[in-house]
Amino acid sequence: MRRLVHFVVLLLVLGAGYVAVTQPENLPFRVPWQGQTPAAPAPQPEAEGDASTEPPPDTTVRTGPFGEVTDAALEALVARQPISIPALRAREYPGSRLTVVRTLNAGSNYSRQVVSYQSDGLKIFALLTVPNGTPPKGGWPAIVFNHGYIPPQQYRTTERYVAYQDAFARAGYVTLKSDYRGHGDSEGEAGGGYNDPGYTVDVLNAAASLKKDPRVNRDRMGVWGHSMGGQLSLRAMLVDPDLKAASLWAGVVASYDVLATDWNPPKGEEKPTLDRLNRRYLRALSPNAYLQDLDGRPIELQQGTADEDVPYSFQQAFADDLRAARQRFTAYRYPGDNHNLSGNLRTALNRSVAFFNDNL
């Protein structure tokens, strides 16, 4: 699979600067078949001393008498892929009590703390904000805050998305921004947001941990995601029905078949193509194949047309998928703005706050 490399962009906003980049990694779009007729791969001998290595996802599939792949067979194949929505739904996400690691300088009307929680047996760190005062009846509404790709070795809990998180905290929301596994002081390895389920598991355990906090109203929980965090947020919504609404900024949310062919193809080369069988497979593997399971929970989309990291066409493609699935959404287009909506940041934040006010 061709490696998809993206570049660094700089944002200075409200006095808090950060660098956000998209991730040069292999996406989960390795097609299982080189031709139209699928065949079981030949078994590979196990390397000596490598018995603990997990086997790769099973890509064998039964075909009909004429070599055709039925929808049922394709669904069974997809369900065996760890990144798929069926596989994620088959897991458990108990979360844990949020443990305070250290208290930070307070915001204007809210507290800030570095906390930790458990995910897959790993200690994951996060930045928690809680409004001051007595919680309303039932608890404060809460937002699981999912950041975009930043090189894990450069990531610092308190240096990223400060102004973004502040906007929701000021508006009376509990927010929790996770340091995905392998980021900052979080345990585990940073496996990537697209070809590995780990980050999504961390997000779902973050949501489960918030539900355990007596200050939080578990019936008023949403997700916010930027770039890679948009993909994580979409998966989380489709796995956890307690997440009632999602605001996705410049999200990597086009269907997998679109991402495999349209995301930064190498310059000077022809755009990659997929045969019908592999396109069916990637479409079925994509979270977009399950949008009907949103069951009317609303989505907000915001993106700039000059985004050089995630094509604006991805928001358009996702909007088309939502329409086809007859799901509720609102989409905002910012002509000439970049990946971080630097030119319209205050407007975009106000719109997201209003969106959650209306839907949580």
Q: For residue 75, is it within any domain?
A: no
- Provide the sign of the torsion angle of the four alpha carbons 256, 207, 221, 244, taken in this order: positive
The C-alpha atoms of residue 63 and residue 43 are separated, in whole angstroms, by 19
**pLDDT grade, residue 65 (50/70/90)?**
low
Global confidence as pTM: 0.85
Q: How far apart are CA 264 and CA 271, in angstroms?
A: 9
Distance CA 250, CA 260 (A): 17
The pLDDT-based confidence of 34 (bands split at 50, 70, 90) is low
* Strand stretches in 242-349, DSSP E: 243-249, 299-304, 329-334
In a domain, 71, yes or no: no
Whether 49 shows a pLDDT value over 50: the answer reads no
Mean of the per-residue pLDDT values of the chain: 85
* Cross-strand pairs, 146: 225
Rounded CA separation 160/164 (Å): 9
pLDDT at position 29, please? 56
How large is the average pLDDT for residues 101-118? 97
Residue 34's CB is within 10 A of a number of other CB atoms, namely 10
CA-based diameter of the chain, in Å?
68
Indicate if the pLDDT at residue 47 is higher than 50. Answer: no
Q: Is the model's pLDDT at 11 over the cut of 50?
A: no
Q: Distances from the Cα of 263 to the Cαs of 3, 29, 59, 282, 310, in angstroms? A: 10, 12, 24, 14, 7
**Other Cβ atoms closer than 10 A to 292:** 12
Is residue 222 domain-resident? yes
Return the closest-CA partner of residue 278 out of 30, 73, 64, 83. 30
- Total domains, the chain: 1
58 is a domain residue: no
Residues contacting residue 206 through CB under 8 Å, at least 6 positions apart:
95, 117, 119, 124, 126, 144, 176, 178
CA atoms of 232 and 153, how far apart (whole Å): 20
- In a domain, residue 7? The reply is no
Residue 342 sits in a domain whose CATH number is 3.40.50.1820
Per-residue confidence band for 60, with pLDDT thresholds at 50, 70 and 90: low
CA 249 to CA 302: how far, in whole Å? 5
Q: Supply the range of the domain harboring residue 185.
A: 90-358
Identify the pLDDT of residue 238.
Answer: 98
Task: Read off φ and ψ for residue 280, nearest 5 degrees.
Answer: -60, -45
Q: Angle, to 10 degrees, between the axis of helix 198-212 and the axis of helix 228-239?
A: 60
pLDDT reported for residue 66: 57
Looking at the domain assignment, is residue 57 inside a domain?
A: no
Residue 341 lies in a domain: yes
pLDDT score at 267: 76
Q: For residue range 208-235, list pLDDT tens digits in order.
A: 999 999 999 999 999 999 999 999 999 9
| pLDDT over threshold 80, residue 314 | yes
* 314's tokens: 């991805």
pLDDT tens per residue, range 173-191? 999 999 999 999 999 999 9
Judge whether 6 lies within some domain.
no
